[in-house]
Amino acid sequence: MAYEWCSVVCKNFSSLEDGKELVLLSLEIGFRHLDPQNPWLKPKLTHTEYHQGLAKIVFESGDGEAIADLLYAWTSFSSLNQYTPLNICAKYLINLHCLHPFSSRLRQLIIYAIAFIGYQEFEQAGLEGLVRLLNDLQICVEDMTGNSELVSILLDTIQSSEGIKHLSPLHWELLVEFVTFWSWSPEGNTCTYNYSPFTMASLKEAEEWDKLECWMGIVWILWPPEEGKTTEDLEHITLSLFHQRPSVIQKLEWWIEQWADGWRQIPESFQQICKQAHDEVAQQAGL
C-alpha cells in the first residue's frame, strides 16, 4: 500500500518537489522497519510509469535512509530474470559518494542493487563512478557468499581500463581468495568467460605486481589452458612475474593446490612454468 501511495503522489503533483515529503514518508512507513537480511519479507509491488520520477525524487533528496527504503522495495521485489525499475538506479548509485560512509543498511542494499542491476548498466552509466562506489563499499567475502552476480561484476570491472587503474587492491585480493577457497566458477554465470590479455599486459607495463600476482592466480584457476597448452602471453607474463618476485612462485602454487584440494587437476602447463621458474631461481643462486 505504501508503495502505491508513492505512485499516487508522483501522478498527482505536477512538481515532484511539491510531493517529495509525502513520497519519502510513504517509503519510510512501508519499508523502514523491514530487515533486508530477512529473505521472507518480499513485498508484492505494482509498478507504474512513475518509477522514473520516484527514483529521481528519492535519490536527489540526499536522504540515505530514504534511498535505502527505495532500494529495499526494488531489490526485494526483483529477480534476475525479470525487468524491474531497479536498472534506472545505476546512474544515481554511481554518484552516492557524497553520502559515504554509508550506514550498514544502506551499504547492504547498495550491494544487493549492484548485483541485480549487473555490469552492463553500470558500464553505460560510467565505470569511473562504479569503481569509486565499489571502493567506498569495501566489499568482503561475506557480501559475495551466494552472490555469483557480484563476483561476475567484479571480474568484469577488473578487466576494464578504469578497474585496472583504480579498483582498490582489496578487491583483487578478495577475488583470488574467493575463487581459491569458495570454488566459484564462471560456468553458468554472466561474467566474461575468457580472460583479457589486455589486463595482464597493462598490469605488467604499469609494474602493478601486487595486482598482477592476484590476477594470475585468478586466471590460472578460472581459465586454465585446455589440454595442458598455454598461450604465449600467459606463459610470458607468468614468468615475468616470477622473475620480478620469486616468492610469488610458491604463493601461486599454494593457491592452485588449495583450489585443487585433492580432486581437481592442476594444469600441466602451470606445473611446467613453475618448474622452469624454480630451476632458474636455483641457477641464479648457484645451486
pLDDT tens digits for 165-174? Answer: 999 999 999 9
> What's residue 26's pLDDT?
77
Q: Is the pLDDT of residue 226 over 80?
A: no
Write out pLDDT tens, residues 92-145.
Answer: 999 998 899 999 999 999 999 999 899 999 999 999 999 999 999 999 988 887
**36 upstream amide cis, omega within 30 of 0:** no
Q: Specify the amino acid at residue 49.
A: E
**111 Cβ contact list (under 8 Å, min separation 6):** 137, 139, 143, 150
> What's residue 183's pLDDT?
63
Q: Distance between CA atoms of 231 and 267, rounded to whole angstroms?
A: 13
Neighbours of 200 (CB within 10 A): 22
Q: Is the pLDDT of residue 5 over 80?
A: no
Report residue 153 as a C-alpha cell.
561484476
Question: Which of 47-61, 181-195, 233-247, 248-262 is the least confident region?
Answer: 181-195
Q: Distance between CA atoms of 261 and 44, rounded to whole angstroms?
A: 44
Comparison of pLDDT for 246 and 82, the residue scoring more: 246
> What's residue 71's pLDDT?
92
> What's residue 23's pLDDT?
79
> What's residue 126's pLDDT?
95
> What's residue 81's pLDDT?
43
Round the average pLDDT of the chain to a whole number and report it.
84
Contacts 24+ apart (CB under 8 A), 205-214: 206/164, 206/165, 207/244, 208/164, 209/241, 209/244, 209/245, 210/169, 210/172, 211/164, 211/169, 211/172, 212/237, 212/241, 213/241, 213/245, 213/248, 213/251, 213/252, 214/169, 214/172, 214/173, 214/175, 214/176
> What's residue 80's pLDDT?
43
